[in-house]
Homo-oligomer: A and B are copies of this chain.
């Protein structure tokens, strides 16, 4: 009889994605523990928010994470102490980082070196300095069994199979020529509403307010409109395609925040003054319309020419990027093998459940590799 297999899970972050992940984890743990072959036991031994943490010194599983974290009184530990706690766990450990915190991201190499695996949607780790990128993958296992594994499917396009597909293309020797798409649910919704292929659409400022009211933007819409979120995703894809991109600000990124509004002291003030610039946006729309095109906020990586860019572009109305619906993302891979018609992946690229799904799927992959 093979021995029961146990893996210890530590979760940092219990916000929108974190909560969805914890619920998916529960389902997965139940399924694995009832596996007809050798059952698998997942033990949640750490859960923390930015302030509080719940864990037991003897590595007992948390019995009911929802009430435990709600009633928690212990402050969370510094990351170095969390690492020490996890290293001493009586078995293999996976750290699930459901935050978008730079400090947690900066600590990945330490966790990995100690054999702790990481799964995460945290873009900061893979789109920050190129040095952090090389440190993370230098510390991670390449199958030698020394470092931990690291997976981050949800850092681009949430649960859509974007990163795994790009890795497969590269690993099997295809030549990626161009990656192009719409990488932000907010920008997708905004421009699909501002200039639908069927015509119409409202003033740009009104569409921003509408998107914010519908919950499609960050609490401060400027955090979407500055293009940095898209630039981070393009940085990750460009690096996976083999380009040495220094940082998400080392290539042209068009911000939709007009220069004159950069000094606004609040998101509300910004939204109030945004209508002053509606004429400019309308002109872009009309110009595109004259060419039979629509404008979209897109990003692209041109691999042979080592060029990455993010910003407004015009697309034929029949182009798959123009035809996008709702807040969907679309990612097109142009490669030598796929020729003129790219490999396209499309669907919701944001939201708690689909982001958590990418994290949970990554966890399953790590579990397979750990045993």
Residues of chain A whose beta carbon lies under 8 Å from any beta carbon of chain B? 2, 5, 24, 27-28, 31, 35, 37-38, 40, 142-145, 159-161, 164-165, 168-169, 171-174, 318, 320, 323, 325-326, 328, 337-348, 353-354, 357, 360-361, 364, 367-369, 371
Whether A341 pairs with B348 at a CB distance below 8 angstroms is yes
Whether B168 pairs with A337 at a CB distance below 8 angstroms is no
The 9 closest A-B pairs by CB, nearest first: A343-B347, A37-B142, A168-B361, A172-B360, A344-B346, A27-B173, A337-B353, A161-B161, A38-B144
Whether B172 pairs with A357 at a CB distance below 8 angstroms is yes
Give A113 to B339 CA distance when docked, in angstroms.
Answer: 40
Whether A2 pairs with B172 at a CB distance below 8 angstroms is no
Residue pairs across A and B with Cβ atoms less than 8 A apart, 17 shown, are A28-B172, A28-B173, A31-B173, A143-B371, A159-B343, A161-B165, A164-B164, A168-B364, A171-B361, A171-B364, A320-B346, A326-B340, A326-B341, A337-B354, A339-B348, A341-B348, A345-B345
Find A24's partner among B172, B347, B357 (CB 8 Å cutoff): B172
Residues of chain B contacted by A142 (CB below 8 angstroms)? 35, 37-38
Whether B343 pairs with A348 at a CB distance below 8 angstroms is yes
Residues of chain B contacted by A28 (CB below 8 angstroms)? 171-173
State the oligomeric state as a number of copies.
Answer: 2
Residues of chain B contacted by A24 (CB below 8 angstroms)? 172-173
Whether B159 pairs with A337 at a CB distance below 8 angstroms is yes
Give A160 to B337 CA distance when docked, in angstroms.
Answer: 12
Residues of chain B contacted by A37 (CB below 8 angstroms)? 142-144
Q: Name A347's closest neighbour in chain B (CB-CB).
A: B343
Give A367 to B338 CA distance when docked, in angstroms.
Answer: 25
Give A2 to B354 CA distance when docked, in angstroms.
Answer: 39
Question: A364 with B143: in contact, given A337-B357, A339-B348 (CB under 8 Å)?
Answer: no
Give A360 to B142 CA distance when docked, in angstroms.
Answer: 18
Whether A354 pairs with B338 at a CB distance below 8 angstroms is yes
Whether B328 pairs with A174 at a CB distance below 8 angstroms is no
Whether A343 pairs with B160 at a CB distance below 8 angstroms is yes
Find A348's partner among B38, B338, B364 (CB 8 Å cutoff): B338
Residues of chain B contacted by A161 (CB below 8 angstroms)? 161, 164-165, 168, 345
- Report the minimum CB–CB distance from A80 to chain B (whole Å): 26
Give A166 to B338 CA distance when docked, in angstroms.
Answer: 22
Residues of chain B contacted by A368 (CB below 8 angstroms)? 143, 369
Residues of chain B contacted by A357 (CB below 8 angstroms)? 168-169, 172, 174, 337
